């Protein structure tokens, strides 16, 4: 293989058998289960990187079921998104993500810098209850419940929330272990079609784990809960801030 061939074809590892195909990436019937809760401001300040600013002591704990996505297939993920402000613009900072599929783990980390780790999240309906769980190995790290389709949610408010910018801290090391890339990435969800949206009573338990420490942002009060399905495209990102720039 010639040098020009490498330059022309390289976009992911391994070179001759990439872990994921090129985008864009469209998701059909993407199912969200989100519990917004109040936490400690000091805990947020310890994990949200400048120049992002914490807006309120809130966290969105999300379960996302993706049964049909181009390139990435069928998988489930969960994690924590923190409402933030950047240069006066409000959005969400993705603090932690756990999922069960190698392709989107590789793609998410390499392209955008999503903080993805391999684990076993699930969303299920048990009788009249929507249930979300996160296991890291055999250990339960998160348990969420909500009344199933308890009452309709405000569709316009849900769509508006999906169109706000999202921020991630992308870190790629040099061969000596020092950071080669350290950037704050901004991305948007695009071509959003909301199919249904529900709200209702909810509960969330987070349990300490050495390597999946979602409990580092403790639950002090449940603020709201949402359950909805949507078609959307995961937009590619742009660099909002370069930590290594001179």
3-state secondary structure of 108: helix
Determine, yes or no, domain membership for 50. yes
Determine, yes or no, domain membership for 187. yes
Write the CATH number for 232.
2.40.400.10
What average pLDDT does the segment 213-222 reach? 97
pLDDT at residue 65 tops 90: yes
Host domain of residue 135: 22-242
Q: Report pLDDT for 93.
A: 98
Predicted model pTM: 0.95
- Write out pLDDT tens, residues 20-41: 999 889 999 999 999 999 999 9
Asked if residues 132 and 144 have their Cβ atoms less than 8 Å apart, the reply is yes
Asked if residues 100 and 80 have their Cβ atoms less than 8 Å apart, the reply is no
Determine, yes or no, domain membership for 152. yes
Give the chain's domain count: 1
Supply the mean pLDDT for the chain: 96
Determine, yes or no, domain membership for 161. yes
Q: Report pLDDT for 246.
A: 79
Report the 3 state secondary structure along 12-76: CCCCCCCCCCCCCEEEEEEEEEEEEEECCHHHHHCCCCCCCEECCCEEEEEEEEEEEECCCEEEE
Determine, yes or no, domain membership for 17. no
Determine, yes or no, domain membership for 8. no
Asked if residues 184 and 117 have their Cβ atoms less than 8 Å apart, the reply is no
Determine, yes or no, domain membership for 3. no
Residue 216 CB neighbour total at 10 angstroms: 17
Catalytically annotated residue among 2, 60, 116, 229: 116
116 classed as catalytic: yes
- Write out pLDDT tens, residues 90-109: 999 999 999 999 999 999 99
What average pLDDT does the segment 175-188 reach? 96
Determine, yes or no, domain membership for 168. yes
User: In which residue are the tokens 């805990």 written?
Assistant: 43
pLDDT at residue 210 tops 90: yes
């Amino acid at each position: 293989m010639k040098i020009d061939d490498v330059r022309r074809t390289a976009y992911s590892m391994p070179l001759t058998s990439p872990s994921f195909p090129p985008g864009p990436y469209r998701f059909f019937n993407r199912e969200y289960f989100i519990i917004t809760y109040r936490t400690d401001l000091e805990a947020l300040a310890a994990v949200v990187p400048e120049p992002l600013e914490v807006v309120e002591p809130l966290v969105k704990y999300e379960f996302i079921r993706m049964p049909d996505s181009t390139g990435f297939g069928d998988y489930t993920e969960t994690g924590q998104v923190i409402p933030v402000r950047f240069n006066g613009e409000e959005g969400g900072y993705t603090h932690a993500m756990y999922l069960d599929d190698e392709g989107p783990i590789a793609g998410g980390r390499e392209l955008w810098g999503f903080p993805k780790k391999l684990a076993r999240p699930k969303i299920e309906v048990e009788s009249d209850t929507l249930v979300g769980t996160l296991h890291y190995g055999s250990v339960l790290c998160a348990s969420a419940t909500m009344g199933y389709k308890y009452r309709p949610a405000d569709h316009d408010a849900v769509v508006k929330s999906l169109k706000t910018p999202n921020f991630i801290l992308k870190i790629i090391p040099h061969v000596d272990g020092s950071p080669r890339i350290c950037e704050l990435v901004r991305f948007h969800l695009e071509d959003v079609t909301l199919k249904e949206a529900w709200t209702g009573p909810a509960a969330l338990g987070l349990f300490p784990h050495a390597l999946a420490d979602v409990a580092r942002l403790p639950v002090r009060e449940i603020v709201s809960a949402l359950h909805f399905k949507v078609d959307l495209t995961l937009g590619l990102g742009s660099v909002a801030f370069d930590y290594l720039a001179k």
